[in-house]
Amino acid sequence: MTPAAVSEAAALLWRHWSARSRLDALPTGCRPADRTEGYAVQASLALRSGQPVVGWKIAATSVAGQRHINVDGPIAGRMLRDRVLAPGAVVPLEGNSMRVAEVEFAFRMGRALPMRDAPYTLEETMHAVASLHPSVEVPDSRYEDFVRVGAAQLIADDACACWLVVGPASTDDWRARDLAAHPVRASIGGRTVAEGTGAAALGDPRVALAWIANELRVHGPGLAAGDIVTTGTCVVPVAVAPGDAFVADYGPIGSLALSFG
């Protein structure tokens, strides 16, 4: 893609973000053909938003999720400052076509993992982590039918990023726990609506974190110190509606409450 085509695609997507509207697909003249071009549009979209990038999300971390949106592996998206909310937030659903909540493990980076030639190991990645947090992602897409546009266009649209609510750092000795087997539970109005484990996120949230460290190692810009990285849903996405009181419970690791408006 030429710089002009990248800019055109980003401008069109941001227009739909701002208007809470949908497009069928990016025009052929500014449609990314692969991951590299998709991430170029995504980077331009973030710049156009005028907001700093404060973290990252991973979409399609399960085989079922990949099949659902017709991609061959996970994809990464930027989290913009104004889209990351504190515990107790009322998450707006106006204009959101997905209307689901996803319970996820999130890591805050203590040091950067920049672009380089050699892959990052799991051990290197975890050594760079400062803290673990409960988080709930509320995704959305700017496409009318996001299951058919393909990975490159989904990446361009920030990997279906929309809202992220992040809880406080866990005070538990979480590094000693098996996060793959660790149970999580989602409830609405005090009633359990979904249960799962960390294994849903690429087999282990730590593996998911290493995956994005290497995805950004190749495609840029790498992970920065202070970035919050949410690693993919541990439960089947939960349908939500305005007025719902939602709790993500991680047992001794912590919990997170929010509602929808």
Taking the CA atoms of 112, 113, 117 and 118 in sequence, report the sign of the dihedral they define. Answer: positive
One digit per residue, pLDDT tens: the chain, 261 residues?
Answer: 999 999 999 999 999 999 999 999 999 999 999 999 999 999 999 999 999 999 999 998 877 777 778 888 999 999 999 999 999 999 999 999 999 999 999 999 999 999 999 999 999 999 999 999 999 999 999 999 998 999 999 999 999 999 999 999 999 999 999 999 999 999 999 999 999 999 999 999 999 999 999 999 999 999 999 999 999 999 999 999 999 999 999 999 999 999 999
* CB 159 within 8 Å of CB 77: yes
Domain boundaries, the chain: 51-260
| Class (C level, CATH) for 51-260 | alpha beta
Distance between CA 250 and CA 67 in Å, rounded? 27
Taking Cα atoms as reference points, which of 106, 78, 56, 53 lies closest to residue 256?
106
> Chain centroid to CA 4: how far?
27
Residue 161: per-residue pLDDT: 97
Inter-helix orientation angle 205-219/35-49, to 10°: 90
Burial per residue of 139-159, b for 16 or more beta-carbon CB atoms within 10 angstroms, e otherwise: bbbbbeebeebbbbbbbbbbb
Inter-helix orientation angle 35-49/3-19, to 10°: 60
Q: Which amino acid is at 99?
A: R
